[in-house]
Amino acid sequence: MARVRKGAGRPAPLRVLHVAAECFPLVKTGGLADVVAALPAAQRAAGLDVRLLLPAYPALRQALAGTVEVAPIGAAFGAARVALLRGTLPGSDVPTYLIDAPWLYDRPGNPYLGPDGHEWADNLQRFGLLGWTAAQIAAGGLDPEWTPAVVHAHDWHAALVPVYLAARGTAGAQGAHARTVLTVHNLAYQGRFPLERFGELGLPAWMAGPAGVEFHGDLRLLKGGLMFADRITTVSPTYSREILAPAEGHELDDVLRHRADRLSGITNGIDDAVWNPATDPAIAATFDASDLAGKAACKLALQRELGLASQSGAPLLGVVSRLTPQKGLDLLLSVLPQWLGAGGQVAVLGSGDPALEHAWRAAAQAAPDAVGVHIGYDEGLAHRMVAGCDLIGVPSRFEPCGLTQMYGLRYGTLPVVHRVGGLADTVVDADEAALREDRATGFVFGAATPDALARALRHALDGWHHPAAWQQVVRRAMAQDTSWRVPAARYAALYAEAVAQG
Ligand code: ADP
Ligand code: GLC
């Protein structure tokens, strides 16, 4: 472990630079933002010298406090005026660099998509600059006072960091030799661009081929990162194995198999200050495992808010999710009549695919007492749903980690999940053996089919009608350690290994 205590003769704390395109709460499209806010903070609390690099989107630029210009960068990636800033973001003590490049980043809304819902046409330059800047910092010199020993890049947006470092040779300006860790949060998103645009990246010509960022005739930024990163991680051990086979490899399984000796999985944690039922300011009443009265109050408040019948005896199943094919909410729609017929209620908070949005709205119109649907993005409602529901559904076809099932565990809201990726690693099915051994934390089904989901829901319903057993599972769920403590230590060990062995 790279531990890291201050004092004479002790090694200096390991310097780690996280590089990403989102950060909760100011720029968030999914769980990546939660991880990028919470992991560096947990690592800092554990004694690492951690910093964060993000594009200066308007929300971040405006919120950055104590801003200093670290270095002018000048013209780069089509932008005339680029500078590296440093400061801190609200609620965080992690020193944060922003790449100030108004031409590329000073745009409202989603970090990847324009107002028409299409990717910004210059995303190659926007995320090229992100990777390139991180590599400049890592190679030493851009911030004369601070050079990281490890650069931890997240997803395709930051996947060019190892590529740019490889392009300049391993040693940096001052002989520094930063190691790179690339975390794949979701292999489905790869950063794909026409090969003809390779020249915009300023990389050596050989990298336009199969040994570089080219893949099947296109540029794929994630593939480039996978080729050159010193360590590759995914956000759960099961997902790190699943992606080695064609079914879940999103075409990159071959590349990943080639690098399997560098690949491992570390299950995410959740921010236990933001997601804590005992202190959560967004919910109707706080509660903990020793007194669940507040949870019953949260359920009634949520039923009222969503216009559902105020029935404490009706099991309420909630979903907080992007509405994409990955998340399997079409499966839940198919089994909805059975669940409602058995006396259940459903609450859905999400947005995404217009057809799914439409179908869920229609389901709510057809049964307003039993189905509550909010299409949109609402952080407060997400908390009220996790607190007020009895069950949280995550019927994803694949799920690298998944965070909402862990929020559910913490709030005693039992997860109903497909046995894949991080869902398999974080939820224990309430089968007879697990109940007997007091290990059960939820309901797990083995196939992404309506039948399998329906069976899991029947199982959950059966549990609901046995309150003593249900309470036992709720308490076991709430006792899980879903914090960042263990994963932060695992990353620290991985960094130390990368620094020692390359
Ligand atoms: P993914 O990153 O694939 O979307 P995760 O489960 O890792 O899945 O993370 C999703 C995150 O986004 C969670 O923090 C969840 O609460 C949040 N979220 C998703 N949809 C919404 C929404 N409509 N409103 C509020 N929060 C949402
Ligand atoms: C991705 C994955 C999700 C994971 C999140 C944070 O968005 O889809 O499973 O929890 O990243 O790592």
pLDDT value of position 1: 44
pLDDT value of position 8: 56
The side-by-side arrangement of strands in the sheet containing 345-352 is 371-375, 345-352, 316-323, 391-394, 414-418, 443-445
Residues 292-323 have pLDDT tens digits of 999 999 999 999 999 999 999 999 999 999 99
Residues 266-279 have pLDDT tens digits of 999 999 999 999 99
> Of the candidates 94, 7, 112, which has an alpha carbon nearest to the alpha carbon of residue 52?
94
pLDDT value of position 29: 94
Q: Whose CA is nearest to atom 8 of ligand 2?
A: 186
Q: Whose CA is nearest to atom 10 of ligand 2?
A: 402
Question: Where is pLDDT greater, at 7 or 312?
Answer: 312
405 Cα nearest atom in ligand 1: 6
Q: Whose CA is nearest to atom 7 of ligand 2?
A: 31
405, 423 in Cβ contact below 8 A? yes
463, 476 in Cβ contact below 8 A? no
Q: What is the largest CA-CA distance in the chain?
A: 70
Give the whole-angstrom CA distance, residue 468 versus residue 479. 17
Average pLDDT in the 400-405 region? 98
Residues 226-267 have pLDDT tens digits of 999 999 999 999 999 999 999 999 999 999 999 999 999 999
The percent of residues above 90 in pLDDT, for the chain, comes to 94
Residue 434 alpha carbon to ligand 1 centre in Å: 29
* Mean pLDDT computed over every residue of the chain: 95
Give the whole-angstrom CA distance, residue 178 versus residue 176. 6
Give the whole-angstrom CA distance, residue 338 versus residue 394. 18
Q: How many CB atoms lie within 10 A of CB 212?
A: 22
Q: Across the chain, how many H-helices and E-strands are there?
A: 18, 18
Residue 89 alpha carbon to ligand 1 centre in Å: 21
Average pLDDT in the 425-430 region? 98
The side-by-side arrangement of strands in the sheet containing 231-234 is 65-76, 79-88, 96-100, 49-55, 15-19, 150-154, 179-184, 231-234, 263-265
378 lines ligand 1 (CB under 6 A): yes
324 lines ligand 1 (CB under 6 A): no
Using the predicted structure, report yes or no on whether residue 2 has a pLDDT greater than 70.
no
Whether CATH 1.10.132.10 fits 293-478: no
- From residue 448, alpha-carbon distances to 144, 252, 452, 453 in Å are 52, 22, 7, 7
Using the predicted structure, report yes or no on whether residue 3 has a pLDDT greater than 80.
no
> Of the candidates 362, 265, 347, which has an alpha carbon nearest to the alpha carbon of residue 309?
347
326 Cα nearest atom in ligand 2: 8
Residue 236 alpha carbon to ligand 2 centre in Å: 10
Identify the architecture of domain 15-269+485-501 in CATH: 3-Layer(aba) Sandwich (3.40)
- Specify the residue for token string 């196939």: 447
- Residue 109 pLDDT level (bands cut at 50, 70, 90): confident
pLDDT value of position 117: 87
- Residue 4 pLDDT level (bands cut at 50, 70, 90): very low
pLDDT value of position 318: 98
**Region(s) of the chain under CATH 3.40.50.2000:** 15-269+485-501, 293-478
Give the whole-angstrom CA distance, residue 453 versus residue 470. 19
3-class secondary-structure state, position 489: helix
Ligand nearest to the CA of 347: 1
32 lines ligand 2 (CB under 6 A): yes
DSSP 36-78: HHHHHHHHHHTT-EEEEEEE--HHHHHH-EEEEEEEEEEEETT
pLDDT value of position 502: 84
pLDDT value of position 174: 47
| Residue of 39, 404, 420, 426 with the most ligand 1 atoms within 8 Å of its CB, for mutation | 404
Out of 168-177, 274-283, 316-325, least confident range: 168-177
Between the two ends of the chain, the Cα-to-Cα distance in Å is 15
Average pLDDT in the 117-139 region? 96
428, 439 in Cβ contact below 8 A? yes
Using the predicted structure, report yes or no on whether residue 444 has a pLDDT greater than 80.
yes
- Residue 427 pLDDT level (bands cut at 50, 70, 90): very high
Using the predicted structure, report yes or no on whether residue 36 has a pLDDT greater than 60.
yes
pLDDT value of position 140: 87
- Residue 403 pLDDT level (bands cut at 50, 70, 90): very high
Q: Is the pTM of this model over 0.85?
A: yes
Using the predicted structure, report yes or no on whether residue 173 has a pLDDT greater than 50.
no
Give the whole-angstrom CA distance, residue 75 versus residue 192. 24
Alpha helix stretches (DSSP H) within 100-154:
102-105, 123-139
- Specify the residue for token string 């019953």: 296
- Residue 170 pLDDT level (bands cut at 50, 70, 90): low
Provide the β-strand partners of residue 65: 88
Q: For residue 427, what are its two tokens?
A: 């939820």
Ligand nearest to the CA of 421: 2
3-class secondary-structure state, position 194: strand
pLDDT value of position 168: 85
